[in-house]
Amino acid sequence: MQICKKISKFAPPKNYGMKKFLTISSVVLVIALGLFLYFKFWFVYSRGVNEGDINYFQQEGFIFKTYEGKMIQTGYNSKNTSSTIQSNEFKFSVEDERIAQQIDNASGRQIKLHWKRYLGALPWRGNSQFVVDSIYSIGSLQKSDDPFAPSLPPMPIE
């Protein structure tokens, strides 16, 4: 009889199976959540280069001040038969202050930007999935075709 008592002391408690299930389920859930967050917000889905003119570039945000911009890319339109030239918009964000300053100074010029695309946007990284991480080239300043642009320096006021 004493042998039976000793064996029953080492037997697992009644709720052992449920505790083991909950522990394994919790670990699997945490790992799955971690993988989802990594692939959604930190995994670089694609990389590429776009070239065009900066339409606007601004710093915005209530808590996280991020740089947001839009580039206009001109090209031929194969879908619409009534027009031959179309403009494509490329919306992007910039994390690096130095790159943002270079883009801001390149107003009115062709600019070639290298970007990374993430599957989700983070508030401190910007509103866009496309995050510019470097500048490949900045074109020379283009002469304006505007007939109302002043051709002579302004007259001094006397």
Domain regions of the chain by residue span: 2-40, 44-138
- Tell me the two tokens of residue 45: 């889905």
Q: What is the pLDDT of residues 135-151, one digit of tens each?
A: 988 887 655 565 555 55
The yes-or-no verdict on residue 3 having pLDDT over 60 is no
0.75 exceeded by pTM:
no
Residue 12 vs residues 16, 23, 30: alpha-carbon distances, Å:
6, 16, 26
CA end-to-end span of the chain:
120
Whether the per-residue pLDDT at 126 is higher than 60: the answer is yes
| Residue 11 or residue 70, greater confidence | 70
Asked which of 37-41, 105-109, 111-115 is least confident by mean pLDDT, the reply is 105-109
* Domain 44-138 classification at class level: mainly beta
Which has the closest alpha carbon to 132: 86, 87, 101, 88? 101
Over residues 106-122, the mean pLDDT reads 91
